[in-house]
Amino acid sequence: MIEFPHVPAGEPLTVSASTYVAYRRCPEQAVGRLRGEYPEDSAVGFVGGLAHRVFARHLQHGPISKDDFAQACREEIGSSMNPKVGSLGLKPSTLQPIIAEVGDLYDRFQKVSLEGCRDVEVSLEFEATEGVVIKGIVDAVFDGEDGGVVLRDWKTGQVGAVADQLAFYGMLWTLVHGEPPESLDAFSVKTGETYVERPTRSALQATVTDVARFVTIARQSFAGVPADTTAGPWCRYCPLLPECSEGRTAVAVTD
């Protein structure tokens, strides 16, 4: 249904949803991610990550009782989040308020309609061409009203600007399954906001073409051709900020 365009040969690389979203903001920041240069972990991100683990646990194994909730959170942290505990310097005493915050989100989550949920934390991976892998994880897949599927991304804060992220998931699902999802949505457990998109073939092709464009930019950058930089609010936490004059200027203006 959609095709990945030709790209120049070069180093193998993997494009994830977060890398693509970074590219849409600033190509150089996204190339930095491919080199292993990531923003520092944050407490807000930790809360969101733990909440996602709890939501998935609920959908896979059933409701979590209040008496078991703290232990369930610690089990999820121990199974997949210990490196972040270390990087954030978290201790048992500082985990308690985090678990309480996630508990508030879980209370809201239990009031959300989950009818038609058919799968959770669905890993998608597609080898677009030699040396180029596109991958992502969809939080939940629901039955659509017209017989297709709905891809859902849970948000623990404001829904925010999610169009690029959802477009990536829709494109990747189409590449893997050969047909597009019926719709894409982002749902804020905290606020109840919902963003819904019905992908068209032209929009899906535009996204896969954009991913190919990023692959070309990244491979050129690896060969010594600098990628473009685009300054904005995202510069504040960018690991490339010390070497980026545009980013430093953007941060100075907003301080």
Residue 193 belongs to a domain: yes
Q: Is residue 229 part of a domain?
A: no
* Whole-number pLDDT of residue 250: 78
pLDDT tens, position by position, 194-248 = 999 999 999 999 999 999 999 999 999 999 999 999 988 888 889 888 888 888 8
Establish how many alpha carbons lie within 13 A of residue 41's alpha carbon, considering only the half-sphere containing its beta carbon: 15
Q: pLDDT tens across 40-60, in order?
A: 899 999 999 999 999 999 999
Cβ neighbours for 49, distance < 8 A, ≥ 6 positions apart: 81, 84
Distance CA 105, CA 101 (A): 7
CB atoms < 10 A from the CB of 52, how many?
A: 21
CATH code of the domain containing 143: 3.90.320.10
Give a yes or no: residue 218 inside a domain: yes
Buried b (16+ CB within 10 A) or exposed e, 107-138: eebeeeeeeeeeebebebebebeeebebbbbb
Question: Is there a domain that residue 149 lies in?
Answer: yes
Average of per-residue pLDDT across 172-184: 98
Residue 3 in any domain: the answer is no
- Is position 132 within any domain? yes
Would the pLDDT of 104 be above 90? yes
Per the structure block, which two tokens stand in for 10?
A: 């070069």
Give the domain extent around 155.
115-222
pLDDT at 77 over 80: yes
Please report whether residue 129 resides in a domain.
yes
Beta carbons of 66 and 101 less than 8 angstroms apart: no
Number of domains in the chain: 1
